[in-house]
Chain A
Amino acid sequence: MSRRPWYQEYLKGLWEENPIFRMLLGMCPTLAVTTSALNGLSMGLATTFVLTSTSLVVSIIRKLVPGQVRIATFTVIIATFVTVADLFLKAKFPAISKALGPYVPLIVVNCFILGRQEVFASKNPTGRSILDALGVGSGFIFALTLLGSIRELLGSGEVFGHEVIPGWHPWVVMILPAGAFLTLGFLVAAMNAIERTK
């Protein structure tokens, strides 16, 4: 196993292993909830909470869990934290919970959460696992907020509910599913172009 400096475990999630722009994982919530910057940010935060909590627990018990039942164990842990996050949002932020709808419970099947457990948390010490989870989570928040901001900007002339372009004629298509695919496609292309110039 490579012994990278600890801050690398965090930074890699932002760019070279960004779940959305580099690995193209977790596309379902990404495309569905990013109709506004606030929705993207909330979804990113909820997912990061689940990812970090799960990585913490999994890395602590990693030596106790037999390989045959590791997926089942990880899934139960993920599902528990997802339900906690869902109930918390419903209790404290009903408006956000309503906007995100069924996509909070669906964090359970977000593939990169299980992926980080398989690839990282089940093989690494707790500190590094938390850094890794926070890094990937931050990458996810960054990607979702960017996607949501662009769609909200073009779709309604606002970002986070504040008017940015006065008198903008809204492109309704950007709020619709097609807008999600268009924005994501252009962003991934842009990320690839930047990567190539390095």
Chain B
Amino acid sequence: MSVSARMMLVLTVVGVFSGLSLVYMDKYAEPYIALHKKEAVREAIDKVLPGVDKVEEVHRDETVIYRALDSSGKLLGYAFLAEGPGYQGKIQLMVGVAPDLRRLTGMEVLESVETPGLGAKITESSFEEQFRGLEAVPAVGYVKAGRKPAPNEITAITGATISSASVVRIVNEGLNEVRRVVRAGPPDCETEATIKWKGGKK
């Protein structure tokens, strides 16, 4: 066999084997990856809206909102994913808001790559807890450490004002989007899927 024919043969065989094993591996891993993603979302909703029993996914345009109901079927509030740039890279948050959209019920950082020891403190509960019960009208704000925050303000992390401000900005942007969607009409009609949810930790 000539050298070029052998080259083609070897590369083709290697390519086919590689493709086949990747298809097989992807088939195996995909359901697990989807499950982990769903679990992460559910756990985050549970943290930002305590007492949640059932979650309904509401789709409108590009926006996905989670309607959280308690065990008696009463609306507890809405949860939504919001993301935007932080100091170093993308920050993704899960935010919970009361049914009247005027008060936050909680905030959880899902993804961030802020500076360790400084901006990374946005993932600590001492920072996240500040959003629990925080007033969100007209918008969420922040003050630097040492000053007294208003009912709609959080205290920024010392040395990480940019990271703190980014979280506040992402929360506000997401909140505006949710207000637009919820006020545009009854979201129930857009419900595509209802997630069964037993409440508490999985």
Which residues on A are within 8 Å of B, measured CB to CB? 35, 61, 64-66, 68-69, 72-73, 76-77, 79-80, 83-84, 87-88, 90-92, 94, 155, 170, 172, 175-176
Most chain A beta-carbon contacts within 10 A, residue among B6, B11, B26, B117: B117
Q: How far is the CA of A79 from the CA of B17 in the complex (A)?
A: 12
Chain B residues whose CB sits within 8 angstroms of the CB of A65 once the complex forms:
10
Q: At the interface, is chain B mostly helix, strand, loop or mixed? A: helix
Given contacts A87-B29, A170-B117, contact A64 B22 (CB under 8 A): no
Q: How many A-B residue pairs have CB under 8 A?
A: 65
Chain B 8-55 residues near chain A, CB threshold 8 A: 10-11, 14-15, 17-18, 21-22, 25-26, 28-29, 32-33, 36, 40
List the B side residues contacting A35 at CB < 8 Å. 116
Q: Name the residue of chain A whose CB is nearest to the CB of B17.
A: A80
9 A–B contacts from the bound complex (CB under 8 Å): A61-B10, A66-B7, A69-B11, A77-B18, A90-B36, A91-B33, A170-B117, A172-B116, A175-B116
Q: Which partner residue on chain A sits nearest B39 by CB separation?
A: A94
CA of A61 to CA of B29 in the docked complex: distance in angstroms?
A: 28
B-chain residues with CB within 8 Å of residue A61 when the two chains form the complex: 10, 14
Q: What residues on B are CB-neighbors of A79 within 8 Å?
A: 18
Which chain A residues border B193 with CB–CB below 8 Å? none
Which residue from chain A places its CB closest to the CB of B8 in the assembled complex? Answer: A69
Name B's A-contacting residues (CB within 8 A): 3, 6-7, 10-11, 14-15, 17-18, 21-22, 25-26, 28-29, 32-33, 36, 40, 115-118
Q: Would you call B18 and A175 a contact (CB within 8 A)?
A: no
Judging by beta carbons under 8 Å apart, are B33 and A90 in contact? yes
Task: Give min CB distance, A117 to chain B, whole Å.
Answer: 13
Q: How far is the CB of B73 from chain A (nearest CB, A)?
A: 32
Cα separation A87 to B11 with both chains bound (whole Å): 24
Complex-state Cα separation, A57 to B115, whole angstroms? 41
Of chain B, the residue at the smallest CB distance from A72 is B11
| Contact A91 B117, beta carbon cutoff 8 Å | no
Q: A68-B7, A91-B32, A94-B36 are in contact. Are A76 and B15 (CB under 8 A)?
A: yes
Per the bound structure, the CA–CA distance linking A2 and B33 in Å amounts to 47
Apart from A68-B3, A90-B29, A170-B117, 10 more pairs, CB < 8 Å: A69-B7, A73-B10, A76-B15, A76-B18, A87-B25, A87-B26, A87-B28, A88-B29, A90-B32, A91-B32
Select A91's contact among B3, B17, B28, B40, beta carbons within 8 Å: B28
CA distance A69 to B5 in the complex (A): 12
CB A4 to nearest CB in B, in angstroms, measures 30
